[in-house]
Structure 1
Amino acid sequence: MTGRPVTGRPVPGGGERGSSTDLVVSGGGSTLVATDALLAEAATLRTLQAAADDWQERLEQIRSLDSEPVPAPQWTDGDIGLSVFGAERAIHQVGERSGALADALVSAAEGYGRAERSAEYLGGLGGFWLGYAIGRVAPFLVLAAVPALAAGAIGWLLSGVVTGSRPGDAPATAARWLAQNPRALTNPIVPAALRLLVSSVDDAAAGVTALPFPVSFALGDQGVGLLGVTTSAAGVLAVARPLGLLRETGVTVGRVGGPTPAGPPTGFGDLASRIPAAVSGGAQVRVERYGPAGSAAWVVYIGGTAEWSPGVTREPWDLSSNVAAVAEEGAGSYRAVLEAMREAGVQRADPVVQVGHSQGGLVASQLAASGEFNTVMIATFGAPNGQVDVPAGLHAVSVEHSDDIVPALGGVGGRDEDRLVVRREVFATEPVPVDRALPAHALSAYRETARLMDASPEPRLREFRSALETVLGGKPGSMSRWRGVRASEN
């Protein structure tokens, strides 16, 4: 059998922690959830089973060529009938064992998939109920917390007098603690809990307003989806914007440099490597064209957040766009990408491949869902896009690190079962770097995962790479870079 050996765990969730090179694949219209190597082994066994069936038919044709077949009881060592019979038995055993092993692997992957979906559903239900219950008792908790907070504040101030620390030292203290505990934010439990917490905010709000829980649940993430992460983000904007924070502005877009030649990407590694780095003042969008005008195909690469200030800056890839994008309220980055695509010459009917990291992946998903352009493929890396349903029939791959908290900000996954999800725990066995925040979210980490995906024999990953070549062709094209800038506030 082919493929990398499965290390650590044959399917996720086993008793032993996996290697940092393990890829866990799910979705894509399938109920299977397993490592890429296990799924590749199952596909190889199915191929071997089909080959055995084909050889059985060929042997039947060979047998029919004997015009005077010798009956079985009279076979001798030189009779063709005995040779064909022996070959048939051996090939039948190969086919039977290959099929049985493939069935066992698929059954294990399906069993884990059912268990994972049940756990996600029950965990989500529990989280939603807990959020609703907290919302119901929130007024009483606030009243009860006032004396405790006052006492705690007095104690904190007195301890500061004794130790000589100042209130302004709190951020530095928190930073030191995170430096001393690098796994505090990279433990996979933290993103999983955060995903539930983000999805439960609307339930807590429903509890405060005394909306019955069955109604809240029916309208929420696991119901019709009218309430959820999107409405929670809209609530954050409603509170912040009167304070002058998270405000949207107009954007202008300009080309950075002239067009340059580019070769078509051949896999996930190429796609991830061409996503613009999140650098303040740099280009945020890269557009590639393959083929002549009128029959061109395009790849649009969208970078991640470059500015984390909640105030208005000149950078559209900022915290304001992050929240506005989740709220689906016309983020500056979304509008900038639309304008860049139009300026680059993308026509509405042209096939487009959307690629993005972090906020760029969320924008790419929303562009695909909007129908503004003819998106035919999409690949996102570390994007909080779980609630964005892309159109059916799209080749869609979402890459998420299980120790990255940013994809969890998209909440519990939506109802989009056609999207192929590839997960990897970057620091399962590797030490966590202490010199940068959220190392599992770094574009460099996702580029490494993309290279592992290219090396994977998993059939659906191979199919995506093959479809990419079909859409773009093999001839060189051209590339242009674009930068969006926020307009100054009046």
Structure 2
Amino acid sequence: MTRLVTSSVHGGSYGVADDGGYLEAWARLEATQRALTACADAWTGTAFALSTRQMDMLARLPAIETAGGAAGASATASHRIARAVDACNDIGAMLRRVGDECGRLADLVARAHGLYSAAESDSRGLTSKAVQLLTTLNPLAMTAIGASVGLCGAAYGYAVEGSFGIAHASRATSWMQEGLMAGIGAHLSGMAGLPGLMGVGALGGDGRHVAAAAGRIAAVSAPLNDRAQGDRLVVTQTTPVASERPVGYVDGTAAALHDLRRLGAANGDGGRTGLSYATIAISRYARADGTNAWLVTIPGTDGQPDSPFGWEQNVELMGDDAARRARADSARFVAEAMRRAGVGADEPVALVGHSQGGIVAATLASDYVGEFRVEHIVTAGSPIANHPIGEDVWVTSIEMEDELVAALDGAANPERDRWLTVRGRLADAGDDRPLVSSPVDIDDGPLRLTHDLAFHEAAYASAAQLGSPALERHDAHLRSTIGGDYQGTTYWRGRLGDDADE
């Protein structure tokens, strides 16, 4: 079964004139749908009334025949009524189809231009705050509720697909993931210890308690991880098989995401590609004025024992301590690779990353501002809402509403002119109408976790086909950031060890 994703656009810049014009178009389409639906109801109501009249005439035919009346005339009238009933039903169905199409167009306009954004954000925020409050007051009970909801989702997946997996559990709990993480963060950060309403009033939807909790955990886990993995970073330039170069010329966000996915796959198939885990790509674009622009492609967590992209590094990157974020092994690795590739302090840089790779991109944009000129980051499935990214940096985030990982920051992304979020969700597999959704490029089978980059690619494609001006501005900015003649891509591998390692 082909999986489909439908998306909406949040944040970004539209312009006041655009907002007013598209809001008026949406309102007219909605009003037209209501009017056509009312007309359709009237026509089908007329058909019902005529049908009732026809049945009454048919019921009287035997009596008319017995009395020697004109039964033929009555039969003819009944036939004419039947034709009128069919005509009324046909007209009603036609009007309903046109009305439904107006409603679909209204929905497309709203999704493309963020007209649902405020309402969706308010609803999502209220739900998250309620879950956060309940989790802060009783984390064990809410965690148990979350586990129960997840088990119900997994059971549903087993009943429908024969697969008792985590993907359906994650989908079932999507409505509470953000609030649950925020509540657990508040509890771990010590905010839950405030008495009564003070604790309630201190809770917010900005995820700062998650960052504080991650900082507390990282203060303990980072030294332990250094002892386990070692903290000596070895960065090596590597070369893939000539026929298997996953990253090439990029002409926009969609291509950058596709190459990011190809790099992740190539890293996992080293026997064929010549690459291995914890390998990033750095592409150089030469400008007419003699300067360079750079695109850095960063895959996500691989969890290998000597990899800088381990599990613990996620905690360090999500903490509230800027120095510790910058010292996280994955951030150190990418920064060192950029230095060796020749990225200058005054040269524009764009970064695209999946999962931990996106968190690294956000860390470089917020904590390496004195060394690199990061102008644009693209993240897929990355919890970066709490990173203090400057308002001069353009951020394009793609998230699936039920993937869990993107909700680990306990907050929705900021909505501002230069921070745009594409929010995707699984669509009805039977709804193949144009522009409603985009297919996911994965093999058929049981539902996978939507943290798979294939879902983010589909989410971006779904948003892009809507023609959103905000999305087009972000895509144009990425193209301008790396504008120039493509000069090639270098690949860099990171490894961790101690001083005794070769």
Do they fold alike, i.e. is TM over 0.5? yes
From 340, 349, 352, the equivalent of 1:352 is: 349
Counterpart-to-counterpart distance in 1, 2:491 and 2:463: 26
Q: Does 1:393 align with 2:376?
A: no
Q: Per-residue deviation at 1:358?
A: 0.8
Q: Give the superposed CA RMSD.
A: 4.4
Counterpart-to-counterpart distance in 2, 1:239 and 1:176: 39
- Residue type at the aligned position of 1:446: H
| Partner residue, 1:197 | 180
Secondary structure of the 2:264 match is coil
| Partner residue, 1:477 | 487
- Residue type at the aligned position of 2:309: W
Cα deviation, 1:47-73, whole Å, max 9, x if unaligned, reads: xxxxxxxxxxxxxxxxxxxxxxxxxxx
Q: Per-residue deviation at 1:129?
A: 2.0
Counterpart-to-counterpart distance in 2, 1:362 and 1:179: 35
Counterpart-to-counterpart distance in 2, 1:450 and 1:114: 20
- Residue type at the aligned position of 1:356: G
From 165, 180, 184, the equivalent of 2:163 is: 180
Answer whether contact 1:132 1:207 (CA < 8 A) is retained. Answer: no
Mark the CA change 1:298 to 1:44 in structure 2 (over 3 Å): closer, same or farther: farther
Answer whether contact 1:207 1:213 (CA < 8 A) is retained. Answer: no
Answer whether contact 1:353 1:378 (CA < 8 A) is retained. Answer: yes
| Partner residue, 1:157 | none
Counterpart-to-counterpart distance in 2, 1:116 and 1:220: 20
- Residue type at the aligned position of 1:27: G
Mark the CA change 1:435 to 1:416 in structure 2 (over 3 Å): closer, same or farther: same
Counterpart-to-counterpart distance in 1, 2:237 and 2:195: 52
| Partner residue, 1:270 | 255
Q: Per-residue deviation at 1:284?
A: 2.4
- Residue type at the aligned position of 1:126: A
Cα deviation, 1:132-164, whole Å, max 9, x if unaligned, reads: 3226xx7xx9xxx9xxxxxxxxxxxxxxxxxxx
TM-score w.r.t. structure 2 length?
Answer: 0.62
- Residue type at the aligned position of 1:487: G
From 113, 127, 134, the equivalent of 2:138 is: 134
| Structure with greater helix percent | 2
Counterpart-to-counterpart distance in 1, 2:199 and 2:278: 42
Secondary structure of the 1:204 match is helix
Alignment size in residue pairs: 371
- Residue type at the aligned position of 1:130: L
Secondary structure of the 2:374 match is strand
Q: Does 1:305 align with 2:301?
A: yes
Secondary structure of the 1:421 match is strand
Answer whether contact 1:386 1:407 (CA < 8 A) is retained. Answer: no
Q: Per-residue deviation at 1:217?
A: 5.5
Mark the CA change 1:277 to 1:469 in structure 2 (over 3 Å): closer, same or farther: same
Q: Does 1:465 align with 2:465?
A: no
- Residue type at the aligned position of 1:267: G
Answer whether contact 2:281 2:490 (CA < 8 A) is retained. Answer: yes
Secondary structure of the 1:440 match is coil
Q: Per-residue deviation at 1:206?
A: 6.2
Secondary structure of the 2:476 match is helix
Q: Greater shift after overlay, 394-403 or 206-215?
A: 206-215
Counterpart-to-counterpart distance in 1, 2:20 and 2:499: 54
Mark the CA change 1:204 to 1:42 in structure 2 (over 3 Å): closer, same or farther: same
Counterpart-to-counterpart distance in 1, 2:190 and 2:114: 36
Secondary structure of the 1:404 match is coil
From 306, 309, 312, the equivalent of 1:317 is: 309
Counterpart-to-counterpart distance in 2, 1:437 and 1:241: 35
| Partner residue, 1:235 | 216
Q: Does 1:422 align with 2:425?
A: no
Answer whether contact 1:389 1:416 (CA < 8 A) is retained. Answer: no
Identity %: 25
Cα deviation, 1:448-468, whole Å, max 9, x if unaligned, reads: 334445544221222223223
Counterpart-to-counterpart distance in 2, 1:467 and 1:421: 15
| Partner residue, 1:57 | none
- Residue type at the aligned position of 2:345: R
Structure 2 alignment gaps of length 5 or more:
27-104, 145-154, 269-275, 431-439
Answer whether contact 2:131 2:180 (CA < 8 A) is retained. Answer: yes
Q: Per-residue deviation at 1:290?
A: 0.7
Q: Per-residue deviation at 1:249?
A: 2.2
Mark the CA change 1:247 to 1:231 in structure 2 (over 3 Å): closer, same or farther: farther
Secondary structure of the 1:300 match is strand
Q: Does 1:26 align with 2:18?
A: no
Q: Per-residue deviation at 1:27?
A: 1.0
Counterpart-to-counterpart distance in 1, 2:469 and 2:14: 12
Secondary structure of the 1:486 match is strand
Q: Greater shift after overlay, 232-241 or 392-401?
A: 232-241
Cα deviation, 1:374-422, whole Å, max 9, x if unaligned, reads: 1111111111212224221333210011231211112212545341111
Secondary structure of the 1:269 match is helix
Secondary structure of the 1:23 match is strand
- Residue type at the aligned position of 1:194: Q
Secondary structure of the 1:464 match is helix
Structure 1 alignment gaps of length 5 or more:
1-18, 33-37, 47-100, 146-172
Q: Does 1:116 align with 2:116?
A: no
Counterpart-to-counterpart distance in 2, 1:350 and 1:241: 32
| Partner residue, 2:334 | 337
| Partner residue, 1:296 | 292
Secondary structure of the 2:307 match is coil
Secondary structure of the 1:425 match is strand
Counterpart-to-counterpart distance in 1, 2:228 and 2:8: 36
Answer whether contact 2:285 2:293 (CA < 8 A) is retained. Answer: yes
Q: Per-residue deviation at 1:344?
A: 0.5
- Residue type at the aligned position of 2:459: T
Counterpart-to-counterpart distance in 2, 1:345 and 1:112: 44
TM-score w.r.t. structure 1 length?
Answer: 0.64
Counterpart-to-counterpart distance in 2, 1:209 and 1:441: 30
Counterpart-to-counterpart distance in 2, 1:107 and 1:486: 45
Mark the CA change 1:283 to 1:393 in structure 2 (over 3 Å): closer, same or farther: same
Q: Per-residue deviation at 1:185?
A: 3.6
Cα deviation, 1:288-328, whole Å, max 9, x if unaligned, reads: 111169611111111011117xxxx2111110112221125
- Residue type at the aligned position of 1:112: Y
